[in-house]
């Protein structure tokens, strides 16, 4: 059944087409991002990342975080996002600088802005809204 772009996807639809994996104990390395427990470390290679979606998520007067989804197409359709997050400010800027260096020319404008001035160019009140917009953007090929 084709997707109806006039209505937002349900949570189940979104999760089936935009699968998120939060990276455990991530570390930026020369060839990618190391993650996982000490006895089962994995490497997400820079070459495996097709796009980066970055935004500030949370209420302006409440708890906020900078979310960086490193996205690639998933086998069988949809997208797989490897999620990193950081507190706004210096921590987020340092993360963005490391991601920008690893991704080189594939770094998004939003990531470059965050690396340069420490500010996210997008804001969403919650992760569902962020993921919905990221999915729509990716499906449009923007």
pLDDT at 92: 96
- Phi, psi angle pair for 103, to nearest 5°: -85, -25
Q: What percent of the chain has pLDDT over 90?
A: 73
pLDDT band at 1 (very low <50, low <70, confident <90, very high): very low
Q: Where are the domains of the chain?
A: 13-20+49-139
Strands of 79-86's sheet in order across: 18-22, 79-86, 64-73, 51-58, 123-124
Taking a C-beta distance cutoff of 8 angstroms, is the pair 66, 95 a contact?
yes
Taking a C-beta distance cutoff of 8 angstroms, is the pair 70, 52 a contact?
yes
Least confident residue range of 1-5, 17-21, 130-134: 1-5
The better pLDDT of the pair 14, 31 is held by 31
Taking a C-beta distance cutoff of 8 angstroms, is the pair 56, 64 a contact?
yes
- Write down the pTM of the prediction: 0.88
Structure tokens, 52: 């980066």
């Amino acid at each position: 059944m084709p997707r109806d772009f006039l209505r937002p996807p349900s949570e189940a639809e979104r999760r089936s087409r935009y699968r998120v994996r939060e990276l455990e104990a991530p570390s930026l390395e020369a060839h990618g991002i190391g993650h996982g427990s000490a006895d089962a470390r994995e490497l997400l290679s820079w070459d495996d990342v097709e796009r980066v979606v970055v935004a500030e998520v949370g209420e302006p007067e409440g708890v906020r975080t900078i979310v960086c989804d490193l996205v690639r197409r998933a086998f069988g359709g949809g997208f797989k996002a490897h999620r990193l997050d950081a507190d706004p400010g210096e921590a987020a800027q340092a993360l963005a600088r490391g991601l920008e260096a690893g991704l080189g020319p594939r770094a998004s404008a939003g990531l470059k802005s965050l690396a340069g001035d420490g500010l996210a160019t997008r804001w969403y009140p919650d992760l569902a809204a962020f993921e919905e917009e990221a999915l729509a953007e990716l499906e449009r090929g923007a």
